[in-house]
Structure 1
């Protein structure tokens, strides 16, 4: 380990419970709190490797606050667009009744299912790059840093993923 990671390891052990408590008070989920505390540590490590900070604790809680906001946004999107278990049957009944909005919804779900299947056909490296870009909102440079490859390689992976998904959608 490097000197930075040694001191961060010590810092994390000292502040882990405070970070978890911070996340628990806001998100009320112990597993999410632990995961986000770990993510805070990882981001702090990357930040410290680039530019050491004078107030590590303040930076850690700043990162934690941003992670809470990101998590809430993502959960909001998931709740809005994730299919419920009853949704397909309801949609099929509505389509049978000639409801044009329900028919559009059913077509959208089928399209999402096609894209999901297409994504699962791709290698993990393409799916990871696409996920980090589309869901996490990382730049190609950040993704390249995370995955240990060049920006150009990330651009190629994402282009391959988009083309594959588009081709599968056109086949249906």
Structure 2
């Protein structure tokens, strides 16, 4: 059986099951589909599916890890939004604060959240794990299955891209 036929067979067997599990976990059909698609891409990278003793378990583990990453990003985004709502209330209640400053700050924060979401997946995950979860470079490297040097490159790349936001 060719590689393409083998991976196609795995997808045929487990696609509906993975989508159902991911939908139950995240509650969104589109997000579940994205997670499942990314799972297949990761499985094919480095031919993980050929090395796995139990391809079904590996598919579920990769999907679960991706869902966890999605949940972390969602929490970070909500933390931004909660903080902005709190700051809006505080600033509006204090005298002398220009409403235009509040709007400008909120727009800048929205651009930052969007910029973080547009980072490449591993770059974004490394950035979120380091800056918001306070994980060490070694922990991030282990979690993503990459070297510490690669983690540092991802973090530098993320910072450069986010600093470009300041230049706009």
Q: TM-score range by the shorter chain?
A: 0.5 to 0.7
Q: How does 1:17-166 map to 2 (within 5 A)?
A: 17-48=16-47, 52-82=51-81, 90=89, 92-96=91-95, 106=102, 110=105, 113=108, 116=111, 128=119, 132-133=122-123, 135-137=124-126, 160-161=160-161, 164-165=164-165
- Other structure's SS at 1:136 match: helix
* Higher-Rg member (1/2): 1
Seen in structure 2, the aligned counterparts of structure 1 residues 80 and 32 have a Cα distance that, compared at 3 Å, is same
Contact 2:43–2:49 (CA under 8 A) maintained in structure 1: no
- Other structure's SS at 1:96 match: coil
Q: What is the RMSD computed on CA atoms of the aligned residues?
A: 4.6
Contact 1:36–1:64 (CA under 8 A) maintained in structure 2: yes
Q: In structure 1, what is the Cα distance between the partners aligned to 2:159 and 2:71?
A: 29
Seen in structure 2, the aligned counterparts of structure 1 residues 3 and 112 have a Cα distance that, compared at 3 Å, is farther
- Other structure's SS at 2:52 match: coil
Contact 1:4–1:49 (CA under 8 A) maintained in structure 2: no
Q: In structure 2, what is the Cα distance between the partners aligned to 1:158 and 1:28?
A: 29
Seen in structure 2, the aligned counterparts of structure 1 residues 155 and 81 have a Cα distance that, compared at 3 Å, is closer
Q: In structure 2, what is the Cα distance between the partners aligned to 1:28 and 1:60?
A: 19
Give the alignment's TM-score, normalised by structure 2.
Answer: 0.59
Gaps of 5+ in 1: 99-104, 121-126, 143-150
Count of residue pairs the alignment pairs up: 143
Q: In structure 1, what is the Cα distance between the partners aligned to 2:86 and 2:119?
A: 28
Gaps of 5+ in 2: 127-139, 145-150
